[in-house]
Structure 1
Amino acid sequence: MSKTYADLRSARWFTPDDFRGSGHRSRAMQMGYAPEDWEGRPVIAILNTWSDAQPCHAHFKDRAEWVKRGILQEGGFPMELPALSLSESFVKPTTMIYRNMLAMETEELLRSHPVDGAVLMGGCDKTTPALIMGALSMGLPFIYVPAGPMLRGNYAGKIFGSGTDGLKYWDERRAGTITKEQWTGIEGGIARSYGHCMTMGTASTMTAIAEGLGVTLPGASSIPAADANHQRMAAASGRRAVEMVWEDLTPEKIVTKAAVENALTVAMATGCSTNALIHLIAMSRRAGAPIGLEDFDRASRVTPVIANIRPSGKEYLMEDFFYAGGLRGLMAQLGDKLDRSALTVTGKPLGDGLEGAEVYNEDVIRSLSNPVYHEGSLAVLKGNLAPDGAVIKPAACDPALHVHSGPALIANSYPELKAIVDDEDHPMSPDTVLVLRNAGPHGGPGMPEWGMLPMPKALLKRGMRDMVRLSDARMSGTAFGACILHAAPEAYVGGPLALLKDGDIVDLDIPNRSLNMRVDEEELARRRAEWKAPPPRYQRGYGYLFTKHIQQADKGCDFNFLLTEFGDPVDEPVIF
């Protein structure tokens, strides 16, 4: 052990023989605890994002008890602290507004309580980056417990993937090929257990990234939520959190540049969500090992997609991925594309955790020589429509649209978009580029997942199921199609997307990573001079704080005052 009890933060609360120390001990005893509970023991915070409005974390009440069991087994004192649940299903207008709030809450919960280390419990989309961002900034030893994917969807003898197949079959419902009764059956069968989405959406992407960073136990991210292995993993994480405190295994020793690069490679190989760019950029900046859009594009060009999981893959879901060998199996396939010397929460190199990893189904987890897609999941585009970058997921869209030119058809708001896509007789052509603007960090507000613009009924009637779509919004990681996202700077702050007009020709070239409008610089300058900034979305409260300090998508949408270089954190109140 590199620490003694006297070295622990919690000892500052519980051991002083003064009035404040007495108050801390007395209030702990008020809850039924005795000195034997804290004396000589590290206090481990359990940050639990359970709520009655969070289906992905519905099992966390139970899992927290397993974490506590592990902490007690290893001689620690568990302290459960509720945190924002950020339910992707129910929080409006978007959980993205509150990712930074949970990150702030995580940092402050750990700072303000008598804790020495933490177990972070998350899984639904924004909870993983938010918890890790806050814990990185605080700097205490921590380990992440992923919620785990739900079981496969099932209806009428078909396997369904949450999100992906919902979007797919909703277009069929709009096209009139599915009845209301059939749709009700799909609703009841597509998400039939607790756990996060079992496609390679944002949730599975971010938990895989967490494991790639080295902040979970080996294999933790792949275990289905309903599998008994998940309970054992939760208890093991509790035990390991105690050991990490004694070893003084703090996050700056784990989340290094090598770890961030590993997470980036893992993300590309899984066919990750487009949201991975924003979240991993934000986490890397908190860790002091920053990456940018160029790093994603570089990694994409040399890392094939080898996880055959929807939506980038065509057949399988996360349950199949687990049975096929899980993330350990995938990372073993990546070979020397990973830095196996990178330290993890186990206290050992990443490579040690991959020893003995096997692949049991080579169609689910492909080899590098037989990938699902020969380049990585994402492509970063730049040009006069997005000088700071935009992103597209080539593996999840029609290859015929990888190089495309067509006239813009613009919606300035989601209601305007809905009017366009619901008009069965709209005179658009198959070449049309459908555009939604004012849906970025400021404009959304919060950059909602509106980027998979619905296919217009006018084209669905003609048998089309994909078209080029462009926005400054995000889209669900379970989504698919030729959707260009995250155009930066966003339209609401005067980015070039604000200057685009109906009928302007948009040129997309994925192989050459370009996105442009055929408008000359003189005309763009004239339009820019005429543009008027809209009013802020919020006048008060957290939304006002968000508006004042949120950064653009290419910077990770973090608050500017939470960056590592902004200032040193305060470990405890001045008056203790």
Structure 2
Amino acid sequence: MASNDKKKTVLRSASWFGTRDKNGFMYRSWMKNQGIPDHHFEGRPVIGICNTWSELTPCNAHFRKVAEHVKRGIYEAGGVPVEFPVFSNGESNLRPSAMLTRNLAAMDTEEAIRGNPIDGVVLLVGCDKTTPALLMGAASCNLPTIVVTGGPMLNGKHKGKDVGSGTLVWQMHEEYKAGNISLHEFLSAEGSMSRSAGTCNTMGTASTMACMAESLGTSLPHNAAIPAVDSRRYTLAHLSGMRIVDMVHEDLTLSKVLTKEAFHNAIRTNAAIGGSTNAVIHLKAIAGRIGVDLELEDWKEGRGVPTLVNLQPSGEYLMEDFYYAGGLPAVLRRLGESGNLNRDSLTVNGKTIWENVADAPCYNEDVIRPLDNPLVENGGICILKGNLAPRGAVLKPSAASPKLMNHRGRAVVFENFDHYKQRIVDPDLDIDENCVMVLKNCGPKGYPGMAEVGNMGLPPKLLKRGIKDMVRISDARMSGTAFGTVVLHVAPEAMELGPLAAVRDGDMIHLDAESGRLHLEVSDGELADRLETLKSQQVIASTGGYLEIYRERVLQADEGCDFDFLVGCRGAEVPSHSH
């Protein structure tokens, strides 16, 4: 776009900085204490850099440097960068779960964008919940927005082999509990797993959400997979800074990118990459903010799409290998060639998604499989319904054991996570590999924030016999780095007195993933009686603070776990203020 065209743009920030009166004087004067010259207030787009940098969020701890490269690009394109912090909810340290504060971070982002003199925004995101949180907040404002993720860590190295962050922990801990390795050997892998800046290098939730952002069209091509410490990550940050300035002049707002078709592209991409089950909740929440009607049923768009990306925990490789093999553009090209991509969906660089990937090369067909040799023929997220999950539950077939995908077994029930921890180590626990482990009260309200405890570790006595997997059912989530035949997000949750609350030891449960059925073999009458008894006994203690707001206003998993009062696009209009 020619520079003389840019000057015709009516900028939102002009209502702060563009007036020759007392208010304009004060807004400009306060900003000038940072050394900003007069001409930066004369028709230049003000670009907010929304930064989730924090030393308590190790995935995002390198964002100061990334932000500097974004600023360079903004300056080069004629914009004025203004960096500001928002709540950084890191999954690795924050208790009980970063999911508890995803909505808080989204609120912070929304109000910071709307209330400040910003014409467009760059979202610096990385760790699991920061990507959906900032996209949710930005979607409710609907300004021109571009996503820059921090990138994955380099491959972990242990005993001369590549190891995946997160996945290594689950694997080695099971080996330790089984008595196959010593405590010293288990702990020796600690420094090997995370050897550079960046997010988990497996196809966990952070990498999945980076891929979701790119497949939705909200980031530049290749954003999802460039390693955090690769110089090309900084180049992409620079180019994103340049691009957001033009997006402001083009009025390319988020609602023009986040369409229903774009969400279907993301769902199919999730299948192709073997992505995290957490994407189900996050995409629903983002869609709710922009006004797109996305339901659990839409995830059937991903069933039948082959899993092409051979990455842990579903496969063998790691994100570094994925980038060198061609990254997400190579995957999107294969989806487009197989009819599994809405080719005309607009992306933030002003081109359609197909224009961006039509010629994308693939350099390693073992990492990014061809369509006729997939890792899993029928990928995607399996949506389950039945009398145990009337509003749905999810299962990730690419991480599950095929022999357990149609399974009938006796329930062994854990009333909450503390009960699980106490009971699972009991050598007298009446359980074998054919049983179904059921964990209650770990949903959005039950274990506030719906912690990632759904991939329950197996009983030590079964691990010692070499048992690697069992059917597990809960209203919790699990880490995208985890694996197993794990049914998650059962809705309604137990604390809301969904049928899950009524399951008892010895009940028979039938999981049939092929038909999408999750059935508790208890009569409707018996189920109703049990729930009525539980209702009369239920006591929910007051907690006060944010936790109380959370429990009162959070929606169920099938609705995206957003707060009911945050759903919807409120736009960027803000009342004028006279000092």
Deviates more, 1:163-172 or 1:541-550: 541-550
Q: Which amino acid aligns with 1:572?
A: V
8 Å Cα contact 1:299-1:376 kept in structure 2: no
Alignment of structure 1 residues 319-330 onto 2, 5 Å: 319-330=320-331
Distance in 2, matches of 1:8 and 1:535, equals 53
1-side partners of 2:163 and 2:246: how far apart?
41
Aligned residues of 2:304 and 2:380 also touching (Cα < 8 A): no
Within a 5 Å distance, the mapping from 1:75-224 to structure 2 comes to 75-224=78-227
Rounded Cα–Cα distance in structure 2 between residues aligned with 1:161 and 1:573: 49
Q: Residue type of the partner of 1:115?
A: I
Instruction: Determine the structure 2 residue equivalent to 1:26.
Output: 29
CA separation in 2, counterparts of 1:302 and 1:413? 35
| Correspondence for 2:435 | 432
User: Which is worse superposed, 95-104 or 5-14?
Assistant: 5-14
8 Å contact kept, 2:166–2:200: yes
Q: Which residue of 2 aligns with 1:383?
A: 386
SS in structure 2 at match of 1:531: helix
Could you tell me which residue of structure 2 aligns to residue 241 of structure 1?
244
CA distance in structure 2 between the partners assigned to 1:412 and 1:571 by the alignment:
47
Q: Measure, in 1, the Cα distance between the counterparts of 2:188 and 2:76.
A: 45
How many residue pairs align between the two structures?
572
Counterpart amino acid of residue 223 in structure 2: A
Contact 1:5/1:11 (CA < 8 Å) preserved in 2? no
**Distance in 1 between the 2:318 and 2:542 partners?**
40
The 1:541/1:498 distance shift into structure 2, 3 A limit, reads: same
Q: Could you tell me which amino acid in structure 1 is paired with residue 552 of structure 2?
A: K
* TM-aligned CA deviation for residue 176 of structure 1: 1.5
Matched, 1:64 2:67: yes
Counterpart check, 1:528 vs 2:493: no
Which residue of structure 1 lines up, in the alignment, with residue 303 of structure 2?
301
In the alignment, the residues of structure 2 paired with residue 409 and residue 215 of structure 1 have an alpha-carbon distance, to the nearest angstrom, of 44
Asked if structure 2 preserves the Cα contact closer than 8 Å seen for 1:306 and 1:373, the reply is yes
Asked whether the 8 Å contact 2:28–2:41 carries over to 1, the reply is no
**Which residue matches 2:486?**
483
Q: Give 1:570 deviation, angstroms.
A: 5.9
1:237-294 CA distance string (max 9 Å, x none):
0000111111111111111111111111111111110101101111122222221111
CA distance in 1: counterparts of 2:8 and 2:574, whole angstroms: 18
> 1-side partners of 2:161 and 2:429: how far apart?
34
Code of the aligned partner of 1:260: F
- TM-score normalised over the length of structure 2: 0.96
Residues 570 and 43 (structure 1), Cα distance of their counterparts in 2 relative to 1, 3 Å cut:
closer
Q: CA deviation at 1:569?
A: 4.2
Which of the residues 279, 286, 289 maps onto 1:286? Answer: 289
Residues of 1 paired with 2:345 and 2:381: CA distance?
A: 25
- When residues 570 and 128 of structure 1 are mapped into structure 2, their CA distance, relative to the original with a 3 A threshold, is closer
Point out the more displaced range, 42-51 or 540-549.
Answer: 540-549
2:565 partner letter: F
SS at match of 1:119: strand
CA distance in 2, matches of 1:275, 1:506: 24
Matched residues in 2 for 1:378 and 1:90: separation? 28
How far apart are the structure 2 equivalents of 1:538 and 1:121? 36
Q: Distance in 2 between matches of 1:408 and 1:214?
A: 43
CA distance in 2, matches of 1:385, 1:159: 40
- Residue 544 of structure 2 corresponds to residue 563 of structure 1: no
1:396-435 aligned within 5 A: 396-435=399-438
| Unaligned runs of at least 5 residues, structure 2 | none
Normalization by structure 1: what TM-score?
0.97
Q: What letter matches 1:552 in structure 2?
A: Q
Q: Of 456, 459, 463, which residue of structure 1 is paired with 2:459?
A: 456
Change (3 A) 1:39 1:151: same
Q: In structure 2, the residue corresponding to 1:7 is in which secondary structure?
A: coil
Hey, what's the Cα distance between the residues in 1 that align with 2:310 and 2:115? Answer: 44
CA distance in 1 between partners of 2:53 and 2:190 (Å): 23
Aligned twin of 1:553: 557
Write the distance in 2 (CA, Å) between the matches of 1:515 and 1:29. Answer: 62
Correspondent of 1:35 among 35, 38, 51: 38
Q: Percent identity?
A: 48
Q: Which residue is equivalent to 2:333? A: 332
Letter in 1 for 2:189: I
Indicate the residue corresponding to 2:263 in structure 1. 260
Separation in 1, partners of 2:371, 2:51: 38
User: Where does structure 1 differ by over 6 angstroms across 4 or more consecutive aligned residues?
Assistant: none
* Letter of the structure 1 residue corresponding to residue 328 of structure 2: L
Deviations 1:459-503 (A, max 9, x none): 112110111111100000000001110000000010000111111
More displaced 10-residue stretch of structure 1: 536-545 or 426-435? 536-545
Deviation string, structure 1 residues 422-454 (Cα, Å, up to 9, x no partner):
223423122111111000001011101010011
Partner of 2:56 in structure 1? 53
Kindly report the root-mean-square deviation, in angstroms, between the aligned alpha carbons of the 2 structures. Answer: 1.4
Matched-pair contact (CA < 8 Å) for 1:83–1:102: yes
User: 1:294 and 1:152 mapped to 2: Cα distance?
Assistant: 36
Pairing 1:494-533 to 2, within 5 Å after superposition: 494-532=497-535
Structure 1 residue 470 corresponds to structure 2 residue 473: yes
Provide closer, same or farther for how the CA distance between residues 574 and 114 of structure 1 changes in structure 2, counting only shifts above 3 A. Answer: closer
Pick closer, same or farther for the CA change 1:421–1:503 going to 2, 3 Å: same
Question: 1: distance between equivalents of 2:572 and 2:75?
Answer: 29
* Cα distance between partner residues in 2 of 1:331 and 1:305: 12
1:420 CA drift (Å): 1.9
Q: Which amino acid aligns with 1:73?
A: E
* TM-aligned CA deviation for residue 300 of structure 1: 2.9
In 1, Cα distance between equivalents of 2:289 and 2:120: 18
Note if contact 2:268-2:380 (Cα within 8 Å) is conserved in structure 1: no
Q: CA deviation at 1:15?
A: 1.7
Distance 1:471 1:278 in 2: 15
Measured in 2, the distance between the counterparts of 1:168 and 1:366 equals: 25
- Shift, 1:526, TM fit: 1.3
What CA distance in whole angstroms lies between the structure 2 residues aligned with 1:249 and 1:6? 12
Q: 1:47, 1:5 → 2: CA distance? A: 26
2:19 to 16, 19, 36: 16
Alpha-carbon displacement from aligned partner over 1:143-193 (angstroms, at most 9, x marks no partner):
000111111110111211011121011100111111222122211101111
Residue aligning to 2:318 = 317
Query: Which among 363, 369, 385 is matched to residue 366 of structure 1?
Result: 369
User: Does residue 228 of structure 2 align to residue 225 of structure 1?
Assistant: yes
CA distance in 2, matches of 1:374, 1:355: 23
Shift of residue 537, structure 1, vs aligned partner? 5.8
Q: Is the 8 A contact 1:66 1:235 kept in 2?
A: yes
